[in-house]
Structure 1
Amino acid sequence: MKWLACGTEFIVADVIRWREPIWKPQPRSSKKKPTMIGQRAVTGQVLKIDRNGWAHIQVAACTVEQSPRSWHPVHPLKIGETIRRRRSKIGQGKVDRLPWSDETARAAIVGSRFLKS
């Protein structure tokens, strides 16, 4: 499969993949600097993008790489689970998307004045 780089320019119905850090859980009152305990590679389909900048994504695949100096357990996301991420934060993880079978249809949707994103 050939993936296309898209940054934050993904729309509803796109299948995207990105990498995100996994941080060690800390109490809210903690003044310590957060510690990264691994990375997660997530692939999913965009279900909805709300007006506040949140993307609702259904997970299709997830792999985890644990940091070698961390002993905390790191778990992948469940397939079929719906997650919510900030569009801008996903864009920091080098987002790729699968091409549509008809890219002209996608271009028409992106160019439409009725696109809500």
Structure 2
Amino acid sequence: MRRLLPVVGLCFLAGCAAGPGRQYVVFFGSGSTALDDPAKNVVAEAAAWSAKRPDLTVEVEGYARNGGDLSADELLAIDRAKVVAQQLVADGVPARRILQKPRAPSNSEGVVGSRRVEIELVSS
């Protein structure tokens, strides 16, 4: 139950965003880069919103937990951002509008928070 509350809170916050700066959060399993159906739905929603705002850049920021092997953890964050960016392109977002920004591995976001990619539409 304690792990569910942060997830619900993050989903609520992501759903409250509006206009430029709209943010979407895609969650991954531990050590995974696979997009499940709910994750694909979030990416599709972000792609649909970005189609309505072609003037905005789509920032894709990947996160990973610091598990002790920084190079592997950093690669996981990069791969998560890349998978989400590829799905955005498949859903119709031009690749030139996507900016991938992997974050340094950290444990400050908690277990679930570090297994995510944030998609944000921002002014160029």
Assess same fold via TM > 0.5. no
Instruction: State the TM-score, normalizing by the size of structure 2.
Output: 0.26
Structure with max Cα Rg: 1
Q: Give the structure with the larger helix fraction.
A: 2
* Larger relative contact order, structure 1 or 2 (CA cutoff 8 Å, min sep 6): 2
Instruction: State the TM-score, normalizing by the size of structure 1.
Output: 0.27
Q: Give the structure with the larger strand fraction.
A: 1
